[in-house]
Amino acid sequence: MAKMKSGDVASDRAVDELREIEVTLDFTPNADASVLYRQGNTMILACATVAPSLPRWFPRDATRGWVHAEYSLLPGSTDSRFRRERNGAKGRTQEIERLVARALRGAIDLEELGPIAITVDCDVLNADGGTRCASITAANIALRLAIRRLITNGKCLPADLRLSPEQIRNGKEPPRLSAEQAAEHELAVLRWDLAAISVGLIDGEVYTDLDYILDSNADVDMNVVMTSNGKYVEVQGTGEEFTYTRDELDALLDAATAGIEKLNEIQASILHGVE
């Protein structure tokens, strides 16, 4: 049980126990793929939308795609109203959406995606710690589902099967992949899943998946982003007026790795057989 600096009650979870996770696919009908993701009391709506064209700064004959992400806290997501950022993302918001975008681009093969641009919007409906990590995990689910549908619809194809601009103008129908070919191409585009988890050091003990109370009392707070083959995309670790040893760092990373393995299992079970 964690001893809280603020005097709040200790966590009732085991130190390595994830918060309860619930996922609803296609929560909104207009996005190409959407996910309502709840991890404890942190709730994220992640929507993947395919753009009509690549960003303007891409070359006209580009063969690779692009994945962008945006992140926002909704006004009612925090204990006091969060003011809307009407003039663009600022400070923490900008940092987090850049992290989400970097993480997604670290997991996807943009050449295999082809000349397609996808934006994943992560809106925090309720914040109780770990919003950036939950956003990355939710965004990965939405992105994979969107890519799966692009492949099914013949819009995302292996390079040797893509239509030329002239063929598209002439109304030529794209080839349809068999179920086996579609699954193979999906793994070429997104070979590994992506997930993120927060871990922390409180009174010398490592805790996994920090909610707000644990996070606000952590001596060390760390966010870890990994692919499902065990490779790191990003590690953000800070001592809060505290220092930590190499052994403690290794223990934090071990806890994060175990937590992310559980998240990967959950993602795989959620998306199994979903079209």
The pLDDT tens digits along the chain (275 residues) read 344 454 454 668 899 999 999 999 999 999 999 999 999 999 999 999 999 999 999 998 899 999 999 999 888 787 778 777 766 666 888 899 999 999 999 999 999 999 999 999 999 999 999 999 999 999 999 999 999 999 999 999 999 999 887 888 898 888 889 999 999 999 999 999 999 999 999 999 999 999 999 999 999 999 999 999 999 999 999 998 899 999 999 999 999 999 999 999 999 999 998 88
HSE-CB for 273 with a 13 A CA cutoff: 1
Whether 7 maps to a domain, the answer reads no
- Please provide the DSSP assignment of 165-215 as one string: HHHHHTTPPPPPPPHHHHHHHHHHHS-S-EEEEEEEEETTEEEES--HHHH
Which residue, chain included where needed, has tokens 């009509």? 52
pLDDT of residue 46: 98
Query: Residue 17 is encoded by which pair of tokens?
Result: 């126990």
Residue 118 belongs to domain spanning: 21-271
Give the number of residues written for the chain. Answer: 275
Residues with Cβ < 8 Å from 107, sequence gap 6 or more?
A: 140, 190, 191, 192, 193, 194, 227, 233
Whether 14 maps to a domain, the answer reads no
Whether 71 maps to a domain, the answer reads yes
Whether 2 maps to a domain, the answer reads no
Which residue, chain included where needed, has tokens 């970097």? 102
Whether 95 maps to a domain, the answer reads yes
CA-to-CA distance for 223 and 235, rounded, in angstroms?
6
pLDDT of residue 91: 81
CA-to-CA distance for 238 and 223, rounded, in angstroms?
9
Question: Based on the structure, what is the number of domains in the chain?
Answer: 1
Q: What is the CATH number of the domain that holds 63?
A: 3.30.230.70
CA-to-CA distance for 7 and 213, rounded, in angstroms?
10
pLDDT of residue 275: 81
pLDDT of residue 10: 61
HSE-CB for 61 with a 13 A CA cutoff: 2
The H-or-E segment that residue 267 falls in is: helix 246-271
Whether 8 maps to a domain, the answer reads no
Whether 1 maps to a domain, the answer reads no
User: Pairing state of beta strands 232-239 and 66-73?
Assistant: unpaired
Residues with Cβ < 8 Å from 166, sequence gap 6 or more?
A: none
Whether 4 maps to a domain, the answer reads no
